[in-house]
């Protein structure tokens, strides 16, 4: 596969950006730090490179692969710390307008509407009333959102715009993020909706998960995996395997579950960790039968993988657990 001069220019710039950002204290949120991250976002959005070419380069160029993985981690940490700072301000002062601190709400609304449209194509509907809708192939009454963060924008939009009779279990490994998210959801949502927002502090990669989290995951018909859950493809795949393995209760009937997995393509995978749909489809678990014979079973059937938010190169993968 031929790498063009333009592709090599992109390579050099990414390595340069990583070197510069690695030398800055990104916890300070200084004008220089903000400017450099803005420059990174602008670079990724204004330059095009095919995913196949970029993946080819990453597989064969360890310097580029190391730089890109570090840029992704730095960008994720920066984004989380900025969101955490904004959440602290909003939680401390109820008169603050949260929309002043989170300017991408419209993009999230667009993304979630796209995801809901795809789910509905597969007969998956969120509960909009207290009565059971027998026409749905799958009526969702419980949603787990893994990696909800200190400002749970997606969960609040899902609840207010799409499923007012759904309970959403926001799972994040940061205790402070959950505390702030709980306060903010009470400020933003009316009481009849905010009471449906639940917050659980849990590292979802932990094995074993606590019994309460296992039980909740087993009951959820829809599980969201946020873009920053798992900073590499391998981490994302292992987290998905862990969720399915541990949410299965041999003493209870298996709940039909759909997963919504947010990822990215092209240069946007420098900003949002990438996972390939075909890798999810190949995920397996090892089991043994009554005769102690070792068996392997596939965990997911990938139903859809589409570019869902073009301006951010966001890709949404919909998969059903088998």
Give domain limits for the chain: 5-98, 105-321
**Phi-psi sector, 292: left (phi>0), alpha (psi -120 to 50), beta:** left
Contact (Cβ atoms closer than 8 angstroms) between residue 236 and residue 226: no
**Looking at residue 296, what is its pLDDT?**
85
Instruction: Using the structure block, give the residue that is written with the tokens 């993304």.
Output: 111
Check: CB of residue 142 under 8 Å from CB of residue 218: no
The token duo for 110 is 């667009």
pTM of the model: 0.93
Helix 31-46 to helix 5-22 angle (10° resolution) is 160
Long-range pairs for 172-179 at CB < 8 Å and ≥24 separation?
Answer: 172/146, 172/147, 172/148, 172/199, 172/200, 172/201, 172/202, 173/201, 173/202, 173/203, 173/204, 174/149, 174/150, 174/201, 175/201, 176/84, 176/150, 177/84, 177/87, 177/148, 177/149, 177/150, 178/148
β-bridge partners, 264 = 314
For residue 135, what are the CA distances in angstroms to 120, 159, 163?
A: 12, 21, 16
Residue 99 DSSP label: G
Count of CA atoms in the C-beta half-sphere (13 A) of 271: 21
Quickly count: other Cβ atoms within 10 Å of residue 91's Cβ.
20
pLDDT string in tens for the chain (322-residue length): 778 999 999 999 999 999 999 999 998 889 999 999 999 999 999 998 988 999 999 999 999 999 999 999 999 999 999 999 999 999 998 877 777 767 788 999 999 999 999 999 999 999 998 876 555 679 999 999 999 999 999 999 999 999 999 999 999 999 999 999 999 999 999 999 999 999 999 999 999 999 999 999 999 999 999 999 999 999 999 999 999 998 876 666 678 999 999 999 999 999 999 999 999 999 998 766 666 667 788 999 999 999 988 888 899 999 999 8
In order of 12, 229, 289, the CA distances from 107 in angstroms are 31, 19, 47
- Altogether, the residues listed in the chain come to a count of 322
Given CATH 3.40.50.150, say whether it is the number of domain 105-321: yes
């Amino acid at each position: 596969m031929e790498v063009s001069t333009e592709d090599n220019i992109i390579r050099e710039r990414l390595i340069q950006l990583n070197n510069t950002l690695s030398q800055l204290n990104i916890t300070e949120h200084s004008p220089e730090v903000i400017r450099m991250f803005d420059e990174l976002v602008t670079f990724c959005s204004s330059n095009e490179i095919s995913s196949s070419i970029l993946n080819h380069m990453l597989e064969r160029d360890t310097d580029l692969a190391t730089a890109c993985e570090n840029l992704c981690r730095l960008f994720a940490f920066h984004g989380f710390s900025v969101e955490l700072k904004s959440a602290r301000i909003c939680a401390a002062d109820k008169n603050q307008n949260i929309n002043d601190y989170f300017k991408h709400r419209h993009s999230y609304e667009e993304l979630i509407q796209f995801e809901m449209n795809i789910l509905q194509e597969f007969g998956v509907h969120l509960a909009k009333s207290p009565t059971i809708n027998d026409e749905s192939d799958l009526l969702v009454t419980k949603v787990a959102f893994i990696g909800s963060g200190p400002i749970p924008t997606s969960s609040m939009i899902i609840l207010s715009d799409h499923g007012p009779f759904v309970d959403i279990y926001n799972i994040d490994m940061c205790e402070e993020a959950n505390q702030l998210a709980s306060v903010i959801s009470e400020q933003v949502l009316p009481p009849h909706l905010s009471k449906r927002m639940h917050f659980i502090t849990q590292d979802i990669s932990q094995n074993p998960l606590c019994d309460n989290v296992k039980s909740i995951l087993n009951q959820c018909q829809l599980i969201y995996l946020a873009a920053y859950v798992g900073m590499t493809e391998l981490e994302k795949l292992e987290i998905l395997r862990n969720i399915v393995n541990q949410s299965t209760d041999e003493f209870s009937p298996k709940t039909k579950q759909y997963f919504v997995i947010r990822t990215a393509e092209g240069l946007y995978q420098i900003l949002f960790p990438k996972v390939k749909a075909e890798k999810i489809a190949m995920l397996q678990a090892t089991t043994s039968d009554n005769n102690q014979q070792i068996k392997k079973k596939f965990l997911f059937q990938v139903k859809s993988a589409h570019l869902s938010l073009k301006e951010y190169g966001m890709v949404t993968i919909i998969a059903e657990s088998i």
